[in-house]
């Protein structure tokens, strides 16, 4: 799976997938479940890089002391909104307001999509941000219109 980052505004970002063939209903369901799960974790503040206590501890986490107030000591890192997933031939796209979630969210999404592509539905290309010239984002009804007011 080729991965490319284009221009990104975290409060108004499109994520694009190019499949090897037109995805079936089942394949679309797999993809949408990955994105919805990722979004809900983000909405709950899971992608907060200031509170990675277990990761920062290293390999031996047996009997580690976890600071229960660690989350409260960090800045909020919440995703704000998701649009409906859209498909056109071999392409899929979805709009997100990533809010203040940290960049680790994108690493986790890429890891999940890489495994999904290897086992369930072949994704040839993943584009984060930007726009495909042959599928204008202005045509989308899944992105809230309120973003145009900013």
* pLDDT tens-digit map of 13-69: 999 999 999 999 999 999 999 999 999 999 999 998 787 777 878 888 788 787 778
Six-digit token string for 102? 């940290």
Residue 141 binned pLDDT confidence (cut-offs 50, 70, 90): confident
What is the enclosing helix (H) or strand (E) of 38? Answer: helix 25-43
Q: Structure pTM? A: 0.87
Cα separation values, 33 from 28, 39, 74, 113, 148, Å: 8, 10, 29, 11, 28
Whether the predicted pLDDT of 120 surpasses 80 = yes
User: Largest Cα–Cα distance in the chain?
Assistant: 54
| Domain residue limits, the chain | 2-49+74-131
- The dihedral sign for the CA sequence 135, 33, 52, 119: negative
Q: What is the CATH number of domain 2-49+74-131?
A: 3.30.70.260
């Amino acid at each position: 799976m080729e991965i490319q980052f284009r221009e990104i505004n975290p409060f108004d970002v499109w994520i694009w997938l190019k499949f090897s063939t037109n995805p079936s209903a089942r394949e679309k369901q797999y993809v949408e479940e990955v994105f919805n799960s990722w979004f809900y974790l983000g909405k709950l503040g899971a992608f907060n890089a200031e509170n990675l206590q277990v990761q920062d501890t290293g390999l031996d986490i047996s009997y580690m002391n976890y600071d229960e107030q660690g989350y409260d000591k960090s800045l909020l890192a919440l995703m704000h909104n998701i649009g409906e997933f859209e498909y056109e031939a071999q392409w899929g796209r979805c709009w997100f307001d990533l809010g203040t979630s940290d960049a680790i969210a994108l690493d986790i999404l890429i890891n999940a999509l890489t495994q999904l592509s290897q086992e369930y539905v072949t994704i040839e290309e993943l584009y984060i941000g930007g726009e495909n010239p042959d599928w204008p984002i202005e045509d989308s009804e899944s992105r809230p219109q309120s973003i145009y007011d900013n």
